[in-house]
Amino acid sequence: MLEKMPSTKVSAFLEKFGKALAEQDIEAAVGCFQTDSYWRDLIAFTWNIKTLEGQDQIRDMLKAQLAKIAPSGWKIAEGEEATEANGITESWIQFETEAGRGYGLLRLRDGRIWTLLTALTELKGHEEKSGYTRPLGAKHGHGKDRKTWREERDEEIAQLGHSKQPYVLIIGGGQGGIALAARLKQLGVPTIIVEKNERAGDSWRKRYKSLCLHDPVWYDHLPYIDFPKNWPVFAPKDKIGDWLEMYAKVMELNYWASTTAKKATYDEKTKEWTVVVERDGKEITLKPKQLVLATGMSGKANWPKIKGQDVFKGEQQHSSTHPGPDKYKGKKVVVIGSNNSSHDICAALWEAGADVTMVQRSSTHIVKSDTLMDIGLGSLYSEKAVNSGVTTQKADMIFASIPYRILHEFQIPLYEQMKERDKDFYANLEKAGFMLDWGDDGSGLFMKYLRRGSGYYIDVGACDLVIDGSIKLKSGSDVQELTEDAVILKDGTRLPADLVVYATGYGSMNGWAADLISKEVADKVGKCWGLGSDTTKDPGPWEGEQRNMWKPTQQDGLWFHGGNLHQSRHYSLYLALQLKARMEGLPTPVYGLQKVHHKS
C-alpha cells in the first residue's frame, strides 16, 4: 500500500481532532497529543499567551475553555501543503473560534501532535480594513460642508484626550508603543501615545552616536510597512529614529511628544484609570480604560550604588545617557560592564582618541554578527529566506511555534557550530583575558535574551580592539569604590578616570509601574521578562512564557509591551486584539493568569 501523502495525513488528522473538539470530547482531543506534547496558544483558546506542556495541562485547559471558545473549521491553511521530514509531519493550519479566526503551525509525530501553535489573527465583525475592504479615502460625490481628510484628522487630534477620552493610553513612544498604536488604529481603538521626548524616534536619536541595530533588517520590520528593499542590513540609530517618526505620521498615530506621565491610579469600581500627564507646561487628566506601559525592557536604567560616587570629580553616566565620544579625546574613560552597550561605547571612544578601559565583572557571551546571521537567523530572517517563501509573518510564527521549554535544544547545536567556525577568534579573546560563556547550558544568545535580557554582545568589530589591547581590559574584579580621580577595583587595581560610564543594564519593567502607579501595584504584577528557567538572573519556578509581557497581568487594565523590533511587531497583534475585544465587550475568559513569584 502506498504511504499517504503528508497533506492527506494532516487533513485526516484535523478532521478527527476537529470532531473531538466540536463534540467536546475532551479525552478524545487529549488523545490526539503525544504524552510529551506542547500546545502554545496566542490568545485563541486561553485569551492569554500560554504554553501547555503535556496531556494533563492540555486536558485542564480544555475543561476550562473548550465550551466557551467553540473552535471549528480546522484545515490546512489556504494555499499550503503539509511537509514531512525526519519523522515529523508539519503543516500550516487555520481554524475559527466563537470570537475570531486563527492560524497556526502543527507538528505531528507518529500520528499525534508533538507541537501545536494556535494564534488568533482577527476578531469576527471587527476585521481590519485592508485589501478588498480598504477604505476609499477620497470622498467622491458631493455635499455641503463636507470635511476633508485633513479637517477630520485635525478634529480627531483636537478632541482626543480633551472632549473625548482614549480607550487605551500607551506610556512610551518608542518602537513598541508605535507598533502597538498602529495595530490599534487599524482596529478602530481610540489610542494616545505619551512620550517624554520631543519627537518620535528620539529614544534612538539621543543615544550614543555609534548605536545601530545589531539585528538584520529582515528581523526588524514594523507592522504594515516593511523597510524598503534598499534599506541597510544594520540601520544606524538616527535612520531608525527618522523611520519611526515617519511611520507615526503616516499611520496617523495620536502621538503626544514632550509629554510626561506623572501619576496613574485605577478605580476598581469604574474599571478606569486616571492618569495625570504634563504637556506644554499644563497638566491634563486622561481617563483610559486600558493602560499599556511600553517603556521598553531596556528603559529603566540600572545605576549601581558604589562608595565614593559623591566624591568623584569627573563625569558619571549610564550608558543610556552617554552622549557619544566627541568631547573625550585624550581623556581617561572607564566603562563598567561588558555587554552590547559597553563594547559599542568603548569602540567609539577609542576611535575618538580616548584612553578607554572596559571593566568586565562577569563572563559575557560573544557571537560574531556575520556568523549569527548565517547560522542563527539565516533560515528565517534573510534575503535567502524571503526568496524561499518565508515571509516575515511565517518566520515569526515558526519561531513562536517552538515551545520555550525545548527551544534551547534547538539552539545548542547552532551555537556549537558558531563556536567551531570562530574558534580562533574565541581563543584570541580568552588569551586577552576576556571571560567567555555560552549561557548556562550552551544555548547561546537567544536564550540569554529571553531568560534575562542581558549578558551578551553581537560583535561588529569591538572585540578586535579588545584582542589587540586598543580597548584595555580589566576582567574578573568588581568595583570597590570611586576616589576623586579613579576607579578602585576589589583586587586593588587603580584605574585613573575622567569619565565613568555605567554599562550596567536595566531593571525590570515593573519598576515603571512602581514610579507611575505605586510599589503595591508593581509588586502585585511582579517581575517582567524571563521564563523561570532557574539559570543565571532568571530564577525559577518554570513559567513557560515571558513574565507579564503582552498578556493580562494581576492588575486589571494594566499591560506591558516591549522587547526588540521583532517582538514589538509580532506580539503587538495579540495585545491589540485583546484590547479591542475588551473595548467591544466580547467575552475574554482568561485561562492561566500568571502567578507572581518574583517582585523585581
pLDDT tens-place string over residues 445-464: 999 999 999 999 999 999 99
The yes-or-no answer to whether 152-299+507-584 and 303-506 have a common fold is yes
pLDDT tens-place string over residues 30-85: 999 999 999 999 999 999 999 999 999 999 999 999 999 999 999 999 999 999 99
Planar angle of CA 292, 118, 558, nearest 5 degrees: 15
pLDDT band at 297 (very low <50, low <70, confident <90, very high): low
pLDDT tens-place string over residues 188-210: 999 999 999 999 999 999 888 88
Write down the pLDDT at residue 1: 36
**Residue 91 Cα distances to 6, 55, 80, 106, 400, angstroms:** 9, 21, 8, 5, 14
Write down the pLDDT at residue 3: 57
Q: Does the pLDDT of residue 281 top 50, yes or no?
A: yes
Main-chain phi, psi angles of 8, to 5 degrees: -65, -45
Nearest CA-CA partner of 358 in 504, 474, 488: 474
Q: Residue 5 carries which DSSP code?
A: P
- Top pLDDT among 169 and 508 is at 169
Report whether CATH 3.40.630.40 matches the domain 152-299+507-584.
no
Residue percentage of the chain with pLDDT more than 90: 90
CB 435 within 8 A of CB 475: yes
pLDDT tens-place string over residues 516-561: 999 999 999 999 999 999 999 999 999 999 999 999 999 999 999 9
**Residue 302 Cα distances to 232, 317, 343, 412, angstroms:** 31, 11, 17, 30
Write down the pLDDT at residue 139: 76
Q: Please state whether beta strands 355-360 and 558-560 pair in parallel, antiparallel, or not at all (unpaired).
A: unpaired
CB 562 within 8 A of CB 296: yes
pLDDT tens-place string over residues 129-184: 998 999 888 777 788 888 888 999 999 999 999 999 999 999 999 999 999 999 99
Q: Does the pLDDT of residue 2 top 60, yes or no?
A: no
- Domain coordinates in residue numbering, the chain: 5-123, 152-299+507-584, 303-506
Report whether CATH 3.10.450.50 matches the domain 5-123.
yes
Write down the pLDDT at residue 572: 98
pLDDT band at 582 (very low <50, low <70, confident <90, very high): very high
pLDDT band at 300 (very low <50, low <70, confident <90, very high): confident
- Calculate mean pLDDT across residues 339-360: 96
pLDDT band at 592 (very low <50, low <70, confident <90, very high): very high
d(CA 454, CA 297): 10
d(CA 31, CA 29): 5
pLDDT tens-place string over residues 375-429: 999 999 999 999 999 999 999 999 999 999 999 999 999 999 999 999 999 999 9
Those residues whose C-beta lies under 8 Å from the C-beta of residue 111, and which sit 6 or more positions away, are 9, 13
Whole-number mean pLDDT of the chain?
95
Nearest CA-CA partner of 439 in 371, 536, 528, 507: 536
Residue percentage of the chain with pLDDT more than 70: 99
- Top pLDDT among 27 and 300 is at 27
Write down the pLDDT at residue 81: 96
pLDDT band at 298 (very low <50, low <70, confident <90, very high): low
Report whether CATH 2.40.100.10 matches the domain 303-506.
no
Rg (C-alpha) for the chain, rounded Å, is 25
**Residue 505 Cα distances to 296, 315, 355, 371, 380, angstroms:** 12, 18, 23, 25, 29
CB 415 within 8 A of CB 364: no
pLDDT tens-place string over residues 258-271: 999 999 999 999 99
